[in-house]
Amino acid sequence: MDFQDFYGVRSAGLARQIKHLRQRGHSFVLGEIATFTGAVVALACVTMTADTAVRLLGAGVAAACLVAYVAIRWADTRNDARIGRLENLKQVYDNELCAQRGDYACFDDGRRYADPHHAYTYDLDIFGPGSLYQRLCRTVTTGGSDALAARLGSLDGQTAVTASMPASAKPLDEAYGAGYQARIGALAADEPFRAAFMAHGVRGRINTDAIGRALETAATVRVPRALGSRWLQMLMAADLTAFYVCIVLAVLGRANGLVPLWWGMLQFFVVYLLCMRPLREVGKAVNWLHGQLRQLVDVARLMDEGRADVFARLSALLDGLDKRGNIMGLVLVDVLGLYDLLLLRRFLRWVETDRWEMEAWMARVVQMDQDVTVATFLYNHPATCWPEVTGEPGVRMEAEGLYHPFLGERAVRNDFRIDDRHFYIITGANMAGKSTFLRAVGVNYVLGRVGMPVFARRLRVSRFRLFSSMRTSDDLAHGISYFNAELLRLQQLKDCLRGEPTLLILDEILKGTNSLDKLNGSRMFLDYVSRQPVSGIVATHDLELSKLESARFHNYCFEIDLGTRVTYSYRITPGVARNQNATFLLRQILGEAEAGA
């Protein structure tokens, strides 16, 4: 399937629909102007003639024009709303089209989650510009983004498992078993649903964390429980009944007209003073949620139209709080309907019942947010597969056709096997593919263990922790040199070895020192970690390190061919690299410089 064609066709089709709806919108505007003008002219005619028949006709025309205006205005509003939805949907396809062309700038890069001290995410480019997270993330809620980031960083043995992740007592891969994979596969096939879901986040994420905090704050507002009692409901009904009877009697001349007036005024002040403070506190906590909540309501209804009433009820409550801003209207509705009391009673019912259901719904939305992201990832990369996660002890990995996700179809696939407490020394020239291979191993293990498809023909892994040391840098602001930074990273590695099976991915141990010191230090370090329950992949340019080869230390390499130019195979093979390219390439550069001179 050509995804560029698919997303391009969808975007172009939506563009045509939007253009048609905009043209219809122009017609609606003309209709509104015509009907409104007709109503004004008809009313003017009514006031300018004494002919009863003409006046009745004018009044009828004015009424018809006003009804037509309201109907056209309603249709225009619905048309604008549909244009907005289609524009968001088109943006989804435009974003995916950009991604197919290698441009991920329109997606969240997750740089806020980047941590140079994390066990592996910094080295493996999990977060930040151009990262795995940026290529993967399609979340529409902040809760979904946070949960996705937590999953990707959860294999260090230290990251806390959140409510939106599997319980800590349950291994991650059990939660992401066959049932989960079938659900993600079905979701991947339901492309229209996924696109409609993602459309709710293209203009800005739904801040589920802030919504949760605001609702929790609102729920703590002190409201007298008596206001929610059954007896008060009966008293309100009796009061309003008597009030309206009094009004009728006053109209019929059977009662003093001042009685309903004073009754209404007293009623307003009692209700207003009783409800003013708690409603102000509730409004202060949740009024800003209206726009966010509208998005959340739409998402919940998309997920389950019949069971999202809890959001609609909260939205109605917020609408009611908004309407209190009109003081004249508030006086009227409090006098005629005890509106503020009804609003407070509705709020109490929400606290007692809907609040808990809404928390469960928000958790469902966050989970669906992650599932849509993973399903879209699966859909956009049909060559991936689901890994097999075993219960074997120790560190074990069998990979066939493994490659790095960033390389796409042009990647060279490699087979590789890692056994428990074995170490693999990988040599090769610069740019031969050592570091990319190390990252391919690490990234695919992370993807497989946190419920995502992997970039391989087959991947079978056990459960183990992951630690890497590939990208250290100095910190002059804190007086940390490059070599000191390397030592601190190795100290962190040593501290994390707590008897649990761990895979170490190391790229050039002790790069910041001289060759002999580096070799002796590397041997010393590998000797130490080889006595721990770990396995390791170590990339190095130091061919002397390959002499560690034994029953547990194995040599692999990325070989190159040196002819008139350097040829890279990017294939890992057993043995030690024979050719290096630094001198060869430098000779070419210097030769070109001399020829130019």
Give per-residue pLDDT as tens, 472-488.
664 544 556 667 777 78
pLDDT band at 191 (very low <50, low <70, confident <90, very high): very high
**How many angstroms separate the CA atoms of 368 and 373, rounded?**
8
- pLDDT for position 12: 96
DSSP, collapsed to helix, strand or coil, labels residue 53 as helix
pLDDT band at 165 (very low <50, low <70, confident <90, very high): very low
Per the model's pLDDT, the better-predicted residue between 452 and 522 turns out to be 452
The answer on pLDDT for 146 being more than 80 is yes
| Cα–Cα nearest to 132, from 157, 156, 155, 111 | 111
**How many angstroms separate the CA atoms of 474 and 107, rounded?**
30
DSSP 342-391: HHHHHHHHIIIIIHHHHHHHHHHHHHHHHHHHHHHHHHH-TT-B--EE--
Among the ranges given (3-17, 399-413, 563-577), the one the predictor scored with the smallest mean pLDDT = 563-577
- pLDDT for position 305: 60
The answer on pLDDT for 265 being more than 50 is yes
Work out the percent of the chain whose per-residue pLDDT is above 90.
Answer: 44
The answer on pLDDT for 586 being more than 80 is no
- pLDDT for position 161: 41
The answer on pLDDT for 442 being more than 90 is yes
- pLDDT for position 268: 84
DSSP, collapsed to helix, strand or coil, labels residue 506 as strand
Give per-residue pLDDT as tens, 518-533.
788 888 889 888 898 9
Cross-strand partners of 567: 561
pLDDT band at 593 (very low <50, low <70, confident <90, very high): low
Per the model's pLDDT, the better-predicted residue between 85 and 280 turns out to be 85
- pLDDT for position 597: 53
- pLDDT for position 111: 94
- pLDDT for position 479: 52
Q: In the predicted model, what is the mean pLDDT of residues 11-39? A: 94
Per the model's pLDDT, the better-predicted residue between 157 and 194 turns out to be 194
**Backbone angles phi and psi of 206, in degrees to 5:** -80, 120
- pLDDT for position 105: 94
The answer on pLDDT for 560 being more than 70 is yes
The answer on pLDDT for 171 being more than 50 is no
Cβ-contact 404, 443 below 8 angstroms:
yes
Q: In the predicted model, what is the mean pLDDT of residues 288-296? A: 73
Query: What size, in residues, is the chain?
Result: 597
Task: Go through 175-185 and write b for each residue having 16 or more CB atoms within 10 A of its CB, e for each that does not.
Answer: ebeeebbeebe
- pLDDT for position 466: 94
The answer on pLDDT for 167 being more than 80 is no
The answer on pLDDT for 24 being more than 50 is yes
Q: In the predicted model, what is the mean pLDDT of residues 180-207? A: 93
- pLDDT for position 47: 74
pLDDT band at 284 (very low <50, low <70, confident <90, very high): confident
Q: In the predicted model, what is the mean pLDDT of residues 130-156? A: 93
Among the ranges given (137-151, 313-327, 484-498, 561-575), the one the predictor scored with the smallest mean pLDDT = 313-327
- pLDDT for position 150: 94
CA angle (412, 415, 420) in 5-degree steps: 140
**How many angstroms separate the CA atoms of 583 and 432, rounded?**
15
- pLDDT for position 308: 64
* Predicted TM-score of the model (pTM): 0.83
- pLDDT for position 163: 37
CATH number of 388-590: 3.40.50.300
- pLDDT for position 168: 36
Most trustworthy range by pLDDT among 144-148, 317-321, 497-501, 507-511: 144-148
Per the model's pLDDT, the better-predicted residue between 470 and 124 turns out to be 124
Please, what is the average pLDDT of the chain? 85
Among the ranges given (280-284, 303-307, 386-390, 562-566), the one the predictor scored with the smallest mean pLDDT = 303-307
- pLDDT for position 314: 74
Taking the chain, what is the end-to-end CA distance rounded to the nearest angstrom? 52
